[in-house]
Structure 1
Amino acid sequence: MIDQKICSGTDRQQYWKKCPKEELDELMELVHRLTKPQGGKLATARIRDFMWMSAPEFYRSKTKENPQFYLEKIRKITQVMHLSEEDSVKLASYRLKDITYDWVVSWKNNKGENVASVTWQMFQDAFLDKFFPLELREAKIEEFINLRQGSMTIKEYCLKFNQFAKYSPDLISNARSSMSKFVTGIFGLVLKECRIAMLYRDMDLSRLMIHDQ
């Protein structure tokens, strides 16, 4: 993977030669920011760790790419690394490729130098507006509302439920509402067992899914 080549030494020079200037400037700026308070070796180590934690790339042109999941995976990594929101945005920007990287460069330039530090929420909102328009998000919400087990196994239904639930946090804002939404899609003996299990005081969605399987 190109990520590991950056840190391997053997192919490092070849990588830098092929790296687009804007992309290289972005990474060097982040190294410079981290170097000031922490020292060069630690800054390099943190960037290496980010690369080795399988930070995803986003092209937009590839099949099965999901803008929402891309953001979630990047944010999980930067939170584990205890990076600031501004540095999280820089690393997320670095993993954008082709037209998506062109977009983020343009977006940052349009904001101007006098704008305060870019927060993760600002970046997330702009990114989703561009690559995951409202109409597509509403379509995902509609799919979640209409989700039923059908011919799926309980395990498959649980996986599908969790995937679509990310788009509809308002529908599952607490344990009771999330369990109620979950049981509307199942049937037969499993439905009966679920309704009984929901009566337990310490029951939540995660426990309910495990109970069903």
Structure 2
Amino acid sequence: MPNMRGRWARSPKEPPTNGELRDALTMLAQVVANQVQQGAQAPQTTTPGERVRDFMRMNPPVFHGSKVDEDPQEFIDEVCKILTIMDVGACEKAELAAYQLKGVAQIWFDQWKGEKGNDYVVLWEEFKIAFLNRFFPLELREAKLVEFMNLKQGAMSRGVSVRYAHWRYGFVSVDDLCRANGGGEIEEEKGARG
């Protein structure tokens, strides 16, 4: 048997000293701490399947495109809320939103994306605009706005209701609101701010 020299060279019958045990435990603690730190720094990558599973756990709405009571704007808003919480990129947002399209809406999406080519990557904003143009055209948005403007707002001021309608139905400017309302009070409000 070779001659072992040094700190750890002792016969099997001799117990280690307290100093040797302390040094060994300190070294072990450092190794464990290094492993924990490396594990914390390693990015947590998720597979596409895990992303879909996480998305589905959030109970996103489904959009068929053929049901009378479906609200396309509400679908976009709810899906966007979920995807923002999940911290999903623009490309994945469009893919996950499309996953919730069924029936007529799914057929539309497949054809729309097919026109762009197999390798084309659809981004969220592009998907959202195309989706709303198809299932919630400007004419319907204007009709919704007029309906909204004719509702009694109670304590809500006219200015607040105009700003809400602008946000909710995606009008670009106050002029769009005026055209949808046929001029009238909104035009006066615009002039007062002007």
Select 1:84's aligned residue among 82, 89, 92. Answer: 89
Q: Establish whether residue 136 from structure 1 lines up as the match of residue 140 from structure 2.
A: yes
Structure 2 unaligned segments of length 5 or more: list them.
Answer: 1-43, 175-185, 190-194
> How far off its partner does 1:63 sit?
3.4
Larger helix percent = 1
Distance 1:90 1:154, change over 3 A: same
Provide, for residues 132-163 of structure 1, a one-character-per-residue CA deviation record: whole Å limited to 9, x for no partner: 111101111222332324xxx769xxxx9998
User: Aligned partners of 1:93, 1:44: CA distance in 2, in Å?
Assistant: 15
RMSD: 3.0
Structure 1 unaligned segments of length 5 or more: list them.
Answer: 1-36, 172-180, 185-213
Distance 1:166 1:52, change over 3 A: same
TM-score, L = length of structure 2: 0.56
Q: Which amino acid aligns with 1:134?
A: L
User: Aligned partners of 1:126, 1:74: CA distance in 2, in Å?
Assistant: 15
Percent identity reads 38
> How far off its partner does 1:47 sit?
2.0
Select 1:38's aligned residue among 31, 40, 45. Answer: 45
Q: Which amino acid aligns with 2:169?
A: Y
Structure-2 residue corresponding to 1:120: 124
TM-score, L = length of structure 1: 0.51
Distance 1:82 1:161, change over 3 A: same
Structure-2 residue corresponding to 1:100: 105
User: Aligned partners of 2:102, 2:162: CA distance in 1, in Å?
Assistant: 30
> How far off its partner does 1:52 sit?
1.3
Q: Secondary structure at the match of 1:54?
A: coil
User: Aligned partners of 2:58, 2:162: CA distance in 1, in Å?
Assistant: 26
> How far off its partner does 1:60 sit?
2.0
